[in-house]
Amino acid sequence: MDKQGQQASTTGLTADEVADYLKQHPDYFHHRDDLLAELSIPHQRGDTISLVERQVTLLRERNSELNQRLGSLVTIARDNDQLFEQCRRLLLALMESDTLDQVADTLEDSLLHDFQIDYCSFILISDRPLETRVRLCRERDISRHVRDLLSRNMQGNRTVCGRLRPDEAAFLFSNHARTIASAAVTPLHYHERLGILALGSRQTDQFRAGVDTLFVRFIADALGRILGRLM
């Protein structure tokens, strides 16, 4: 036995002190195969397993956990790549639009088919007539129907996610209001508020409060600049 081992046997070390010592000297058992062979650790079933077997078990458990985390990160990255590609195609198509009607058709087709959104509502805000079949509302009408929604969440040009009140859903989605379980509502803004884009879902958790709205805001910011050119 070496000097350190002799000190451990004569000074009455506690279990915590032994554990601390082994943490500081992880190679302690490298040349003590005879001691390692005598060690055993209680198993949950009441059996005993060697220290090496226990270490292998722990390493496998940690490896499995890391693999699960890695798999989750890969899935998120793959989903983000798909969203980016969908956004890229949509924005390129919007940039080629010469009229408000073309913008509306491109936006609706992409959101409903590429993004698989159940419902979308595209409303322009204007106090003067515009040559378009896109739904138009005056600023005072918008404020009257979704005043609380605007004041609570959208004054800072942010996207709102979650459940809508019945009157808000009726204004934004008309005949589909009763089937909207969750929604994402974002202002379309460029120097001034130009409109509202609302995405509706039959599922309560698709646009739950706190969900990431990065891509929705990205589309809304680009759309606001395109509308600023056409309105």
Query: Considering the chain, what is the average pLDDT of its residues?
Result: 82
Alpha helices in 25-177 (DSSP H): 33-38, 51-95, 100-109, 139-145, 147-149, 166-173
Task: Return all residues near 190 (Cβ < 8 A) that are at least 6 apart.
Answer: 224, 225, 227, 228
pLDDT in tens, 120-135: 999 999 888 888 999 9
What band does 222 get if pLDDT is binned at 50, 70 and 90? very high
- CA quadruple 24, 30, 31, 37: dihedral sign: positive
Instruction: Report yes or no: 8 and 21 within 8 Å, Cβ to Cβ.
Output: yes
Delineate the domains of the chain, giving CATH numbers in brackets: 98-230 (3.30.450.40)
- pLDDT tens digits, 28-49: 877 775 665 566 555 555 555 5
- pLDDT confidence tier of residue 178, bands split at 50, 70 and 90: very high
**Structure token pair of residue 156:** 């800072």
Assess contact for 122 and 135: CB atoms under 8 A.
yes
Cα–Cα distance, 176 to 178 (Å, whole number) = 6
